[in-house]
Amino acid sequence: MSFLPKRDRLVAYLVLASLLLTGVAWLFDPGRDATAHAYPAEASFSGGRPAGGSFVLVDQDGQPKTDGDFRGGWTLIYFGYASCADVCPTELATMVGALDLLPEEVESDVSPVLISVDPERDTPALLGEYVPQFHPRLTGLTGTPEQLGPVLQAYGVVAEKRYSGGSAEYSMDHSSFFYLLAPDGRLQAVFHPGLSPEALAGGLSRRIAES
């Protein structure tokens, strides 16, 4: 850098040094997730991304549905439940809003799915009333606790009953992510909650386009 005037040389050295320090800090950041993608809409998991996996459940028409039924196209899964007062309706609206923003030929290749975290109350009949309120192609899946338990585990979903005020009524505390399955069934991306429809649509487009 001897071709630079003395003061500019100093600035150049300072810039280099700060870049180096940033790099070193990044390498040694204990919160850094080695599996994290640089994509801002995607969730990062310090213990590694959940593996995802197969499922055998029942849809809102009472018909058996497996992950295999969704192969060949993209699948966007949200885990929630019909009597959720707040978070689920918001996130499902974001999901539908994001789909609406995708180009028609991409949108039609994505199957939106709601998998219940509340098998006790979410009967196929109840999901049959619930899911069409959001999207005509939204599939609602439920099952016995024995069927759902391993699915929640495979996707790293946390769901827990919460009773309040001595009432017999409960709500479910649950994690709230979107899971994008590739046409071959592999879990391709996990998007975090609280996104705008635009941000989710952008994340989906990028993942679908790069495949």
- Residues binding Ni ion (CB under 5 A): 80, 84, 87-88
Please count the residues of the chain: 211
Q: What is the dihedral of CA 184, 189, 194, 199, to 10 degrees?
A: -90
In angstroms, what CA-CA distances link 167 with 45, 121, 140, 164, 177? 35, 16, 28, 6, 29
Closest separation between CB of residue 35 and Ni ion, Å?
A: 26
Q: Minimal distance in Å, beta carbon 94 to Ni ion? A: 13
Closest separation in Å from C-beta 105 to Ni ion: 31
Cβ closer to Ni ion: 183 or 193? 193
Q: 210, 209, 151, 160: which is closest to 179 by C-alpha? A: 151
Closest CB 173 distance from Ni ion, rounded Å: 9
**CB nearer to Ni ion: pick between 80 and 119:** 80
* CB closer to Ni ion, 87 vs 199: 87
Residue 6 or 162: which CB sits closer to Ni ion? 162
Is residue 197 within a helix (H) or strand (E), and if so which, with residue range? Answer: helix 197-209
Query: Which single residue brings its beta carbon nearest to Ni ion?
Result: 84
Shortest Cβ 71–Ni ion spacing (Å):
27
Of 80 and 140, nearer to Ni ion (C-beta) is 80
What SS3 state is found at 56? strand
Query: In sequence order, what are the beta bridge partners of 76?
Result: 112, 180
Cα 205 to Cα 129: distance, rounded to the nearest angstrom: 30
**Smallest distance, Å, CB 110 to Ni ion?**
21
Helices (H) and strands (E) in the chain, counts: 6, 9
H-assigned helices in 39-180: 87-101, 104-107, 124-130, 145-154
Q: Would you say 36 or 87 has its CB closer to Ni ion?
A: 87
